[in-house]
Amino acid sequence: MSRPAGRLRLGTRLTLGLGALSLAVFAVVGTALTAYMRDYLEQQLATQLKLVQTVQAKDAAAHGTVQRKPYYGWYTAVYDVADGEVRLRRPADVPEDTRAFAALARTMAHSDTELVRTARIDGEGTYRLRGCEVRPGVVLVSAAPVTDVEETVERLITVQVVVFALALAALVAAGRRMLRRGLEPLSDMARTAHGIASHDLTESAARLPLRADGRDGGREVAELRTAFNTMLEHIDDSLAVRAEAEQRLRRFVADASHELRTPLMSVRGYADLFRYAAANAPGERERHLARLRAEAARMGVLLDDLLLLARLDAADARAPLRTAETDVAELVRQAADAFRAGHPDRPLTVSAGTALRLRLDPDRIRQVLDNLLTNAAVHTPPGTPVSVTVRTGPDEVLIRVADEGPGIPEEHRERVFDRFYRVDRARSRDRGGSGLGLSVARSLVGAHGGTVELTGGPGGTVFTVRLPLRGRDAAPG
């Protein structure tokens, strides 16, 4: 039976449960009320029988038999009891079956208290018999029918069945209506869930416009609605993050393909030139081979950066970090010397202070510094001053690389660390780089537990590298 019940709606099951509970309550109340009423009527009959028999006992003592007529349907008998024999005095108003009267009189002759019994008399029904001793050897037996009590109880039971049935039907109908109204918010949420199930979540910008409305349903339903809407918000956020990640992945794949296609086209073009005699001349051959080596080197650098980013993104156990005790100030000076050698037209100011040793990967931090300095050289006009400053904070080391160039527009600042992103799309790749330098710098600093921030407005750009001082105690890699 549990399977069919499990397929019923919640409102139907609650209504059936309410009906069953009400039926049980009505049964208990009816049984208790019937038992109380029966006991009350029997006590009333016993009291009435006692009062009547008191008067009849005086009548029997005065006249030998009861002269006064009893109530309609009642019987009275006077017995002489001697040596276990009972004899009915006449005249007597008794039924044809007097065995119960004689038995009670015989027992009463040997009892010191009044006796009450319930017996069935053939042809008459059930009677309540009461005996009392008029004088020694004389016993009065009175009998009252209990038919009225039984009929009253039966009528009470009938009334209870009818009233309880009507009350049960009204309760179930009203309860069903109230439950349906109370569970309507759950039905709304179910429809919302079905709407979500039919929503296409494969779209790149998929969102869930559906929400459970704010209709009242009690505290529990309100809590469920809040949890349901919170779950939808979480799903919306997850879908938004997934859509953004998909867009970034598509853009990354497109940019990576474009970046690799350009040197590959150059390699193919120079290779095709060797089919012609003019390209095989010693001077032309060396020039073409140099260009081939340059394009191959460019592809190698690009692939190395992509591989490095992939390892850092995947938290690869073989992430390329080889930490050692390193003087950060000396590392900055080395990067500054390399920058001056490669860009003699760029005035560079260095403020590194005293030696500051941290446990980090010197090659990777040097790569970060080279990328930031190269970015300052590539994206500013010739002769633009550049500065590098090293400072120590309460729990971190700050390395600032600043230039006095035109700065980065506000609308591009949030994306300058994206891979293959260029502020100036018209800039040539030979001069503007592949667009991976800042992405590599941020990932490498993040692998050391630090951050890279971009500040500054029009007329200058400042990149701040923050390295935690706990790197002093880091275990060697």
- Per-residue pLDDT reduced to its tens digit, 342-396: 888 888 888 887 778 888 988 888 888 988 888 888 888 888 899 999 988 888 8
Using DSSP's 3-state secondary structure scheme, residue 452 falls into strand
Angle at 137 between CA 136 and CA 143, to 5 degrees: 105
DSSP string over 93-122: B--S--HHHHHHHHHHTT-SS-EEEEEEET
In one-letter notation, the amino acid at residue 458 is: P
Q: Tokens at residue 51, please?
A: 């009062």
Predicted TM-score (pTM) of the model is: 0.47
| pLDDT score recorded for residue 471 | 47
More confident residue, 280 or 399: 399
Check whether 473 has a pLDDT greater than 70: no
Residue 4 has a pLDDT of 55
**Span of 202-211, 282-291, 341-350 with lowest mean pLDDT:** 202-211
pLDDT score recorded for residue 224: 74
The predicted structure's pLDDT at residue 31:
92
CA distance readout (Å), 32 to 36, 60, 468:
6, 41, 81
Asked if 382 and 420 count as a contact pair (C-beta separation under 8 A), the reply is no
The lowest-confidence range among 163-167, 228-232, 343-347 is: 228-232
Of 412, 443, 413, 418, nearest to 245 by C-alpha is: 418
Mean pLDDT in the chain? 78
What does the pLDDT average to over 219-248? 75
**Rounded Cα–Cα distance for residues 377 and 405 (Å):** 9
pLDDT at 112: 76
Spatial distance between the Cα atoms of 387 and 376, rounded to a whole number of angstroms: 10
Task: Report the C-alpha gap between 381 and 401 in whole angstroms.
Answer: 16
Query: Does residue 408 carry a pLDDT above 70?
Result: yes
Q: Which of 82-91, 253-262, 307-316 has the highest mean pLDDT?
A: 82-91
Q: What is the pLDDT confidence band of residue 218, given thresholds at 50, 70 and 90?
A: low
Mean pLDDT of 414-433: 60
The rounded percent of the chain whose pLDDT value lies above 70 is 77
pLDDT over 90 (residue 158): yes
Q: In this model, does residue 200 exceed pLDDT 70?
A: no
* pLDDT-wise least confident of 83-87, 210-214, 225-229, 319-323: 210-214
Percent of the chain exceeding pLDDT 90 equals 10
For residue 157, what pLDDT is reported?
A: 92
